[in-house]
């Protein structure tokens, strides 16, 4: 059996090709998996569990079909879909993961994260993240009508794209110092995360411990999946 890990799919109406590839994946390879882990940014935006976008509801229904077929599915919110809540969990059957989440995978402890909290050199983003993850901000936002929230989400996307274009690339990547600190804190030296859209397997040492950081790819041009079985793992593209 194989456990599958994906992240940064960014489902949105403007990219039906992404949605179709994801739906095909959920109906085929994922049906044979021991478990599926989605580590954030499944959706480009999620304005609350009353989000009206039909493309997103197609994905919700597909996840429901997957979990009803007997495949456990676990979901960790990302920086784009952090407002997913209990209604989402109930409608999909997914188990909701904290960030970070420690699991055991075929006898090996593994730390799962979305990855945005590792980008500690991006001070502006970390300040913004603390604000929108706060209860006060979320209650204020969710109390607005749907059309207001949709407009605010679009404004936030536009602002994010503008800010990203003006920042050095290294600031938006993870901090190695932060990665090592998180590994020390949890006593786990294998990490899987997404967020940066830079798929790779990084090997290094932390206080004499061999350490591995696996970065999942995004689904903008093609899919990306981490396949992990008792015999090992592979980080693979999914051609569209």
Domain that holds residue 170: 3-238
Peptide bond into 185 cis (omega under 30): no
How many domains is the chain partitioned into structurally? Answer: 1
**What secondary structure letter does DSSP report for 17?**
H
Residues 6+ apart with CB under 8 A from 208: none
Tokens of residue 160, six digits: 């994010």
Place of tokens 């003006």: 166
pLDDT by 10s per residue, the chain, length 240 = 899 999 999 999 999 999 999 999 999 999 999 999 999 999 999 999 888 899 999 999 999 999 999 999 999 999 999 999 899 999 999 999 999 999 999 999 999 999 999 999 999 899 999 999 999 999 999 999 999 999 988 888 887 777 776 667 667 799 999 999 999 999 999 999 999 999 999 999 999 999 999 999 999 999 999 999 999 999 999 999
CA angle 63, 140, 77 (to 5 degrees): 30
Nearest Cα to Cα of residue 71 among 22, 9, 3, 8: 3
Inter-axis angle of helices 54-68 and 16-27, nearest 10: 10
**What CATH code is carried by the domain that includes residue 167?**
3.60.21.10
CA distance 174 to 196: 8
Nearest Cα to Cα of residue 192 among 5, 3, 9: 5
């Amino acid at each position: 059996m194989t456990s599958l890990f994906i992240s940064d799919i960014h489902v949105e109406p403007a990219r039906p090709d992404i949605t179709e590839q994801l739906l095909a994946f959920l109906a085929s390879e994922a049906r044979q998996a021991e478990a599926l882990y989605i580590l954030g940014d499944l959706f480009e935006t999620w304005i609350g569990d009353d989000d009206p976008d039909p493309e997103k509801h197609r994905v919700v229904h597909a996840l429901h079909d997957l979990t009803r077929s007997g495949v456990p599915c676990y979901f960790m919110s990302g920086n784009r879909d952090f407002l997913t809540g209990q209604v989402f969990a109930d409608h999909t059957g997914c188990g909701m993961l904290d960030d970070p989440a420690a699991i055991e995978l075929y006898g090996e402890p593994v730390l799962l994260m979305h990855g945005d909290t590792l980008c500690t050199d991006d001070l502006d983003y970390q300040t913004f993240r603390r604000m929108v993850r706060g209860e006060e901000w979320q209650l204020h936002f969710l109390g607005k009508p749907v059309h207001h929230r949709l407009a605010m989400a679009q404004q936030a996307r536009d602002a994010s794209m503008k800010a990203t274009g003006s920042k050095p690339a290294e600031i938006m990547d993870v901090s190695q110092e932060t990665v090592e600190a998180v590994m020390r804190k949890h006593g786990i030296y294998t990490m899987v995360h997404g967020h940066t859209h830079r798929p790779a397997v990084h090997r290094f040492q932390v206080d004499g411990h061999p350490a591995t950081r696996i970065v999942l790819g995004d689904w903008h041009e093609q899919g990306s999946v981490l396949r992990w079985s008792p015999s090992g793992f592979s980080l693979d593209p999914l051609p569209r």
